[in-house]
Structure 1
Amino acid sequence: MEEKSQYFINFINNYVALSEEDKEIILSKVSIRKYLKGQYVVQQGDVCRNSGFIISGCSRTFYVDDNGEEHIVMFSIENWWASEIGSFVSQKPSDYNVQCIEDTELIQLSFEDQEDLFKAVPKLERFFRLILEQAFVASQKRIVSTFSLSAKDQYIQFTKLYPEIEKRIPQYMVASYLGITKEFLSKIKNTNL
């Protein structure tokens, strides 16, 4: 566990400088959990009790509409978070599912422990603010590209921004993320990009 937890500490240190005491306090609150491919980190309607930092693996965040159709809003890989942040922060039922696409290992932190850490290690609030700002900016850019780019251009942008993800997930999931059918994605890929 120590090596994997150190990986998380190193990630935090990219944003804020932690003292040895800070590191010990953080490590006393985190746990490591393994999920199998297909397992849910959180399901729509359940409360997200833990935030999860991916050490290895890949997950998708999606919701199922009233017609039973899945709509993927996000993928997460190593050094990203696999949680439903709205539910985690509010401690109210989730609008989304977070499901592992591969066997996935997470560093997890419960809501209560995170709140305790904010008091014990105040610079963690800055760390999480910086992470959330980055996520918000990425979300805003995605919204703009959804409204302003063709499906083909969205696909090209996706492959440039996330080449690692595109190689690891089934094409029907890429299509869902782009809001198109897998058949249309196939046509896009068969044209000269």
Structure 2
Amino acid sequence: MVAHFLKYLKDKFPINDDELEMFRQVCTVKKLRRRQYLLQEGDVWNKNAFVSKGVLRTYRVDEKGVEHIIQFSIENWWAGDRQSYHTGLPSTFNIEALEDSEIVLIPKADFDRLQVEIPKFGEFTRVLLERSFIASQNRIHASISYTAEEKYADFIKTYPDITNRIPQHMIASYLGISPETISRIRNHMVRK
């Protein structure tokens, strides 16, 4: 799975064999079975996680025991808790595998060092974080201004590759609507 990650890097920016070897030396692979955790609330997150295979969900449980899904991560996406990563504080999130998954992990110190030693990688991660921030802004906007139907349609349009890999009740949690509403919307879409 490290080979998959190295190919991902080669596809994203020019990188030579020596630089690839620098990554190879610091990467470890973690295999997760379905329903196994990559991160649990209360643990400190100090790695960068690249999804080589599978689907992860990042979620938080509120005081009433209700799960609120913040993010899904599929192949070639990154996962983690940025707040815990940067502050060293315990995470308030859980990251769980929804399918058998393989994750490439890079410790924070090594990742930070590689961003400096390989400036192209540093620029790539800066752009990646900018895109992530824009996606978060768009999600907040959709959350506060779209109807349930518009939220679901936007989800399908934005993430066509994962809609069939994620249970309907989890999509509902991600969108902040009830599973019954998702069923109603889907039935209405089928009849159209």
Structure-1-length-normalised TM-score:
0.92
* Offset at residue 11 of structure 1 (A): 1.7
The answer (yes or no) to whether the contact 1:51–1:85 under 8 Å persists in 2 is no
The answer to whether 1:166 aligns with 2:151 is: no
Question: CA offsets per residue over residues 6-29 of structure 1, 9 Å max, x none?
Answer: 321222233321122111111111
User: Mean Cα displacement is larger for which, 157-166 or 167-176?
Assistant: 157-166
2:177 & 2:152 partners in 1: Cα distance? 10
1:151-181, Cα deviation, whole Å (9 max, x unpaired): 1111011111112211001111011011111
Residue identity matched to 1:120: E
Q: Matches of residues 7-46 of structure 1 in structure 2 within 5 Å?
A: 7-46=4-43
Which residue is 1:184 aligned to? Answer: 181
Give % identity: 37
Aligned to 2:144: 147
Whole-Å Cα distance in 2 between the matches of residues 15 and 89 of structure 1?
24
What is the letter of the counterpart of residue 153 of structure 1?
A: E
Gaps of 5+ in 1: none
Counterpart mapping for 1:94-113 below 5 A? 94-113=91-110
Instruction: Point out 4+ residue stretches in structure 1 off by more than 4 angstroms.
Output: none
Structure 1, residues 119-154: CA drift from partner, whole Å, max 9, x if none? 432332212111111111111111111122101111
Give how far 1:117 is off: 2.0
Query: In the aligned structure 1, how far is the partner of 2:65 from the partner of 2:21?
Result: 45
CA offset digits 1:35-56 (Å, max 9, x no partner): 1111111112211122110110
CA distance in 2, matches of 1:77, 1:99: 12
Indicate the residue corresponding to 1:132 in structure 2: 129
**Count, aligned residues:** 190
CA RMSD of aligned residues (A): 1.4
Work out whether 1:92 is the aligned partner of 2:89. yes
Corresponding residue of 2:114: 117
Q: Distance in 2 between matches of 1:159 and 1:141?
A: 15
